[in-house]
Amino acid sequence: MSLSSANVALTFKHYKSGTKPIWCPGCGDFAVLNAITKALAQLQLPLQDVALISGIGCSSRIAAYTSVYGFHGVHGRALPLATGLKAARKDLTVLVAGGDGDGLSIGGNHFIHACRRNKDLTYIMMDNEVYGMTKGQASPTTAPDWENSKLTPEGTGIRSFKPAALALASGASFIARGFSGDPNGLARIIAAAIEHKGFAFVQALSVCPTYRPEHAEWKEHVRKLETGPTDNPMLAIQRIVADDGMSTGIIYQRELPSLVRAGNDQSGTLAEIESEFEL
Ligand SMILES: Cc1ncc(C[n+]2csc(CCOP(=O)(O)OP(=O)(O)O)c2C)c(N)n1
Ligand code: SF4
């Protein structure tokens, strides 16, 4: 019997697997894990109705730390895995999580197309502006003047992506930003993202004390957005470009069509899906 059907109120602890995370002390990913599990508890989603798909990176380990269905995939391929799962199992709430490297370097092409397809997925990008797992290389969100003495001694000299702008230009229908230093605020954003029908993108600023210790300063700069969400893309892009990337809240939310062809309900029982592959 599932916990929910036994009428037990689920707390965030029910959504944790009990496996101890091996993240470094102070890693922002602990707070993102708390925010995701709090959001699931807020929505009282039955454990067996949720799946969390991730790629590879420190942040992508998160799938193992929750008790919902999980798939720790390959680097940069979390979104196509999740898209396939959602196509086959429309009834599941599908969350996707990973790092800025996973989602914007090797997985960048999948990111823009996932936004465009607008499938009902919640994508949480844990943005620490660095490749943590492989020991501190610059990522697509690293500022051009970040001097990593060993690898990029004079900075990359390459302009960084603004993930929210990229998501908007690519067609995402929900765009928000949260911060590991405010797990309750991040949980509320993730809950709203899950409830949104369509592709919801949440950029979770997540500190990496090991390779970006200067991000301890983020807590001085992060602030709440002064405005509520808009459904006007022109207004949204103006707000995103005018901002320094440190404002948190829901930036943009709009109802947009999803990639599901009319009359082609892609869901089905396992037996029905299996029968499609019978020779
Ligand atoms: C195909 C492939 N290429 C490269 C790697 C090496 N690799 C593992 S994690 C990673 C980047 C991790 O950075 P990010 O996604 O930002 O996550 P973080 O570790 O910072 O949470 C890379 C390049 C890999 N595992 N597979
Ligand atoms: S290297 Fe950075 S991102 Fe990876 S676990 Fe340590 S603090 Fe977290």
71-91: per-residue pLDDT in tens? Answer: 999 999 999 999 999 999 999
The pTM of this model reads 0.93
Q: Can you give the pLDDT at residue 3?
A: 54
Does residue 222 belong to any structural domain of this protein? yes
- How close is the Cα of 75 to the center of ligand 1, in Å? 6
Bridge-based pairing of strands 200-205 and 223-224 is: unpaired
CATH number of the CATH domain containing 77: 3.40.50.970
Measured distance CA(200)–CA(15) in Å, rounded? 21
- Smallest Cα–Cα separation from 218: which of 177, 179, 165, 160? 179
Mean local confidence (pLDDT), 29-42: 98
In the predicted structure, residue 262 carries a pLDDT above the cut 50: no
Query: Ligand 1: does its nearest atom lie under 6 Å from the Cβ of 57?
Result: yes
Decide: 205 and 179 in contact? Cβ < 8 Å: yes
3-class DSSP string for 110-152: HHHHHHHHCCCEEEEEEECCCECCCCCECCCCCCCCCCECCCE
Does residue 249 belong to any structural domain of this protein? yes
- How close is the Cα of 128 to the center of ligand 1, in Å? 13
Query: Ligand 1: does its nearest atom lie under 6 Å from the Cβ of 130?
Result: yes
Ligand nearest to the CA of 102: 1
Burial 172-201 (b: 16+ CB within 10 A, else e): bbbbbbbbbbbbebbbbbbbbbbebebbbb
Does residue 240 belong to any structural domain of this protein? yes
Amino acid (one-letter) located at 84: G
Does residue 164 belong to any structural domain of this protein? yes
Does residue 229 belong to any structural domain of this protein? yes
Nearest-atom index, ligand 2, CA of 24: 6
> What are the tens digits of pLDDT across the range 10-24?
999 999 999 999 999
Does residue 17 belong to any structural domain of this protein? no
- Smallest Cα–Cα separation from 161: which of 189, 122, 203, 133? 203
Domain count, the chain: 1
In the predicted structure, residue 270 carries a pLDDT above the cut 90: no
Q: Can you give the pLDDT at residue 239?
A: 97
Instruction: Write the residue with the smallest CA distance to atom 5 of ligand 1.
Output: 75
> What are the tens digits of pLDDT across the range 136-151?
999 999 999 999 888 9
Does residue 268 belong to any structural domain of this protein? no
- How close is the Cα of 131 to the center of ligand 1, in Å? 6
Domain with 237 in it: 22-258
